Structure 1
Amino acid sequence: MLWKEKYELGVPLIDEQHKELFQRVEAFMKVLRSSSSWEEKVEQVNETLAFMNAYVVEHFRDEEEYQEKIGYPGSEEHRRIHNDMVNFVLTVTREYESSGYEEQLMQRFAGKLMAWLINHVAAEDQRIAAYAIEKGVAGHD
């Protein structure tokens, strides 16, 4: 699995959401890489896309609420990064639907999604954890 213990922030709700996101994105990649025909894959791909559209918004909201609660000074910048990702997911979804469910678009999207998730959780989100530890508020959610 692509999830690593070092990605944990020590905030149970957010850690569970991150694990769920990693599992979903990993499963998405497996479907896309499988030897099945696109017609066989498209239903699962559409389900994953629908999940991502809903879940990233929910997860980002929870993460932003936690940042506010602990007084994280980088919360505005972090919110901007989240908004950019939400807009990216929405844009790709619209493009995908208007293209008639084009496979290559999903292949590119999956790669970007995975890279973003790892980089964001391993770098940006770790800053929140470091701040929480420094302020003595780690582990609260």
Structure 2
Amino acid sequence: MFEWKEEYETKIEVIDEQHKELFKIANESYALLKNDLILDKYDKVIVIINKLLDYCEYHFSTEEQYLLDIGYKKFLSHKVQHEEFIKKLRDQDLKKMDENQDEYLMNILNFFMKWISGHILARDMDYVQFARTLS
């Protein structure tokens, strides 16, 4: 469902590979959502949320180090966006998830994909442009 597109490419290999991994996690989540053979998905959703959080923190750390390395002038605002995203994921009310697991997972996926694609296309492409001016 969540397709990597050429327009997401930063041409920074490590960043692109990590972005692709985030899409892969989103697709794993979508596969779980569409699996009608699993009636109680609670534990699996928790695993996916934790996997997503762990990988986002890893990716954001990598990206932030890159931004520091190139002297990106908007580093702090970029970092704040990362922190707000992590906070939003951490603040999910998991008790509500048990009431309607599929809807809950779909809401998380929609939030994640809207955020990540918008973040890549706007914020990440801004530092890509900045890095090109350095070359």
TM-score interval w.r.t. the shorter chain?
0.7 to 0.9
Please tell me whether the aligned partners of residues 42 and 97 of structure 2 are also in contact (alpha carbons under 8 angstroms): no
Where does 1:29-40 land on structure 2 (aligned, <5 Å)? 29-39=30-40
Superposition deviation, residue 99 in structure 1: 4.0
For 2:131 and 2:42, the matched residues in 1 are separated by 41
1:52-78: per-residue Cα shift (whole Å, max 9, x none)? 121111110110000010011111110
Q: Larger deviation: 103-112 or 72-81? A: 103-112
Code of the aligned partner of 1:46: I
Unpaired runs of 5+ in structure 1? 137-141
SS class of match (1:15): helix
Superposition deviation, residue 5 in structure 1: 1.9
For 1:122 and 1:109, the matched residues in 2 are separated by 20
Superposition deviation, residue 101 in structure 1: 3.6
Superposition deviation, residue 122 in structure 1: 1.6
Code of the aligned partner of 2:88: F
For 2:34 and 2:97, the matched residues in 1 are separated by 20
What residue number does 1:133 align with? 132
Where does 1:1-141 land on structure 2 (aligned, <5 Å)? 2-39=3-40, 41-92=41-92, 95-96=93-94, 98-99=95-96, 101-102=98-99, 103=101, 104-136=103-135
Q: Number of aligned residue pairs: give it.
A: 132
SS class of match (1:38): coil
TM-score by length of 1: 0.84
Please tell me whether the aligned partners of residues 9 and 16 of structure 2 are also in contact (alpha carbons under 8 angstroms): yes
1:31-70: per-residue Cα shift (whole Å, max 9, x none)? 213333431x444323211211211111101100000100
TM-score by length of 2: 0.87
